[in-house]
Amino acid sequence: MSEGLFVTLEGGDGSGKSTQAELLEQWLVERGRTVVRTREPGGTDVGVEIREIVLHHRGDIAPRAEALLYAADRAHHVATVVRPALARGDVVVQDRYLDSSVAYQGAGRVLDPAEVRRLSEWATERLLPDLTILLDLPSEISRARLHGARTRYDRLEAEAVDFHDRVRASYLQLAEAEPARIVVVDAERSVGEIAAVIRARVEPFL
């Protein structure tokens, strides 16, 4: 078991993952912990290039190819960023991980979620987070938030509402299946309330 702590934040676009990751990092640093805050895709130089392909490529990408690209990013990211940080005893706070692939490529793209998960498990040598925070938000609310904040949508954000409904349902199924790892937080609550819930969940791991 690694000496560090691996915390991931999941949820639909517009659920507030980036804001909460930043607040959690600040809180952990104040407690004297060394934090590596990162994201997928795009947490490495290679990942930045993959992110550009999967999120901003003009034209279609076959669903299986998309899943493989995310897995490739994840394999490199875990090997070069996450595992070294955990070995040092750092806290890794990460925006998206394998649950995103199961939800977005499995349910969203209508691939086999179990196969998508196995692909990520192989890519990461079965590294699972110690704790996953799922920021749950109805699709219509997340779409409204994005509409107010964005002038340009990426390939996944631009998908129809039924795609995002499938993603949300998949996330909730994952949380039901792994309650010891995945904590569901109501993302309609205030930023401060959500941050307090997350801190309370992280505290026992410290």
Q: Does the model's pTM come out above 0.75?
A: yes
Name the domain count of the chain. 1
Residue with tokens 């995002």: 164
Are 7 and 137 contacting, i.e. CB atoms less than 8 angstroms apart? Answer: no
pLDDT at 77 exceeding the cut of 90: yes
The CATH number of the domain holding residue 45 is 3.40.50.300
Q: How far apart are CA 84 and CA 87, in angstroms?
A: 5
pLDDT, one tens digit per residue, over 57-73 is: 878 899 999 999 999 99
Closest CA to 69 of 47, 87, 91: 47
Q: What span, in angstroms and rounded, lies between the C-alpha atoms of 191 and 48?
A: 28
Q: What is the CA radius of gyration of the chain?
A: 16
Proportion of the chain in helix, strand, coil states, percent, rounded to 5: 55, 15, 30
At 152 the pLDDT is: 62
With cut-offs at 50, 70 and 90, classify the pLDDT of residue 34: very high
Per-residue confidence (pLDDT) for residue 145, from 0 to 100: 73
**How many whole angstroms separate alpha carbon 23 and alpha carbon 17?**
10
Q: How confident is the model at residue 8 (pLDDT cuts 50, 70, 90)?
A: very high
What digits encode the pLDDT tens for the residues 168-188?
A: 999 999 999 999 999 999 999
160 vs 152: which has the higher pLDDT: 160
The percentage of the chain sitting over the pLDDT mark of 90, rounded to a whole number, equals 80
Is residue 1 scored above 50 in pLDDT?
no
Domain of 137 in residue numbering reads as 5-205
Q: Is 12 helix (H, G, I), strand (E, B) or coil?
A: coil
pLDDT, mean of residues 128-154: 80
For residues 149-160, average pLDDT: 63
Please state the rounded mean pLDDT for residues 18-39: 97
pLDDT in tens, 82-129: 999 999 999 999 999 999 999 999 998 999 999 999 999 999 999 999
Q: Side chain identity at 97, as an amino acid letter?
A: Y
Name the phi and psi angles at 136, rounded to 5.
-95, 130
User: What CA–CA distance (Å, rounded) separates 1 from 126?
Assistant: 12
